[in-house]
Structure 1
Amino acid sequence: MPKTTLLIVDDHQVVIAGIRSLLAPKTDIEIVGEAANGAEAVRLSGELKPDIVIMDISMPEMDGVEATGRIREVSPETKIIIYTMHSDQRFILELFKAGISGHVLKEGPPADLCAAVEAVMAGKTCFTTIDPAALLRQLSPERPDKEALFEHLSPRELEVFKLLADGLSIKEAAAQLHISPKTVETHKYNLMEKLEVGTIPDLTKLAIRHGLISV
């Protein structure tokens, strides 16, 4: 069975050496090259066509975000795992759009990188820093219908949503649902996070817009 070929990209040789050492016991992996910057990573990816690239974001000449897009052009079948210190959601979103298969933080346990490599080898993705479903929601700013907007709310959260949006206080909603005010407060914060709104008036506007309450 052919081995999975892998290219390591990082501007710190100690990191490259660490990844080599980490993956050395895996007999089904062959490290075919190393690169110290994004431009070199693109060149080697075009020449070697590795199955997987493990790459940092902050590098000289060309950063990992730009390099990801270029690698996808010169070697479309290559899967990319970002191994970085950066947990900024903006970076992850841009990389996700570019088509990475994994995102692992260097500050995490080495086992996280091994797990990511194994997942990608199996045709899966691995994001240790964010739920891919949350990224997909950010990639789809407009929801096509009411069902798509509220499908990730629990039945109880939807009940709380309707009551609060209709003007009931926390205590009034709790009394109507026969639950504690603290439980209503918890549901309120959860649904506001899921619906990406910051205030009760925003909830009311959303409910009116989708016909959940009347005015």
Structure 2
Amino acid sequence: MTVRVLVADDHPVFRAGMLTVLEDLPGIEVVGQAADGREAIELAGTRQPDVVLMDLRMPDVGGLEATARIRVEHPSVAVVVLTMDSDDDSIFAALRAGARGYLLKEADVSDIERAVTSVARGEAVFGAGIAERVLALFAAGRTTAASPFPQLTPRELEVLELIAQGLDNGAIARRLVLSDKTVRNRVSDVLAKLHARSRAEMVALARDAGLGG
């Protein structure tokens, strides 16, 4: 079985290096490369990869939103996150978005090869140090239960819940002990990820999904 792989990363040097590594591996065929999440979503449909290697931090549409949309629009495509982000929020958000694997960019070639071939068979794979963290998240009660907005990070979902409850930015900043600027940035991120044209539309989407009750 040949595994068809799409690489999504906004750093051209890293992307080129990853393409070179993958093309040298037996049983793996690179079918495309994307410089941002929007392009990754489009190519997931046109190139029909088995696996997408997805960076999290990309311009325009980020890796989390791209992962969530690919899993909805192309459910046969598995996503392996390949990132420098090792914090719990990023790992948890990636799992909620539907990622089947999570590796750090320092991973060995053998780890990347194993992850690609394993998720193509329907397995889940986590890199060194990540598996233990995932188990700890589950042990602490944080699960990958279905979320109405899997593209949002836990903090963004928290902000959206408070917006749906009718709180303004100042009240949210006080509740979460954040600066006004941080809250404004999180609200802007949520607006963009939900493709909402206004705060009122964002509130309507959140309440339709059961938030704010």
Superposition TM-score, scaled by structure 2 size: 0.61
Aligned residue in 2 for 1:92 = 91
Structure 2 residue 131 is the aligned partner of structure 1 residue 130? yes
SS in 1 for 2:131: coil
Runs of 4+ in 1 over 6 A off after TM superposition: none
SS in 2 for 1:32: strand
Amino acid at match of 1:27: P
Mapped contact 2:25–2:113 kept (Cα < 8 A)? no
Give, in whole Å, the separation in 1 of the partners of 2:23 and 2:143: 40
Structure 2 residue 100 is the aligned partner of structure 1 residue 101? yes
Q: CA deviation at 1:79?
A: 0.4
Give, in whole Å, the separation in 1 of the partners of 2:47 and 2:22: 19
Give, in whole Å, the separation in 2 of the partners of 1:102 and 1:58: 16
Deviations 1:58-107 (A, max 9, x none): 10001111111111121111000000000011011011012111111012
Aligned residue in 1 for 2:142 = 139
SS in 2 for 1:112: helix
Structure 2 residue 69 is the aligned partner of structure 1 residue 70? yes
Mark the CA change 1:74 to 1:108 in structure 2 (over 3 Å): closer, same or farther: same
Aligned residue in 1 for 2:58 = 59
With a CA cutoff of 8 Å and minimum separation of 6, indicate the structure with the bigger relative contact order: 2
User: Structure 2: 5+ residue runs without aligned partners?
Assistant: 145-213
Give, in whole Å, the separation in 2 of the partners of 1:133 and 1:23: 29
**Relative to structure 2, which stretch is displaced further, 75-84 or 26-35?**
26-35
Q: CA deviation at 1:133?
A: 2.9
Between the aligned residues of both structures, percent identity stands at: 39
Give, in whole Å, the separation in 2 of the partners of 1:5 and 1:112: 17
Q: CA deviation at 1:140?
A: 4.5
Structure of larger gyration radius:
1
RMSD of Structure 2 on Structure 1 (CA): 1.9
Aligned residue in 2 for 1:8 = 7
Mark the CA change 1:39 to 1:112 in structure 2 (over 3 Å): closer, same or farther: same
Mark the CA change 1:33 to 1:97 in structure 2 (over 3 Å): closer, same or farther: same
Give, in whole Å, the separation in 2 of the partners of 1:25 and 1:73: 31
Q: CA deviation at 1:20?
A: 1.5
Superposition TM-score, scaled by structure 1 size: 0.60
Count of matched residue positions in the alignment of Structure 1 and Structure 2: 140
SS in 1 for 2:66: helix
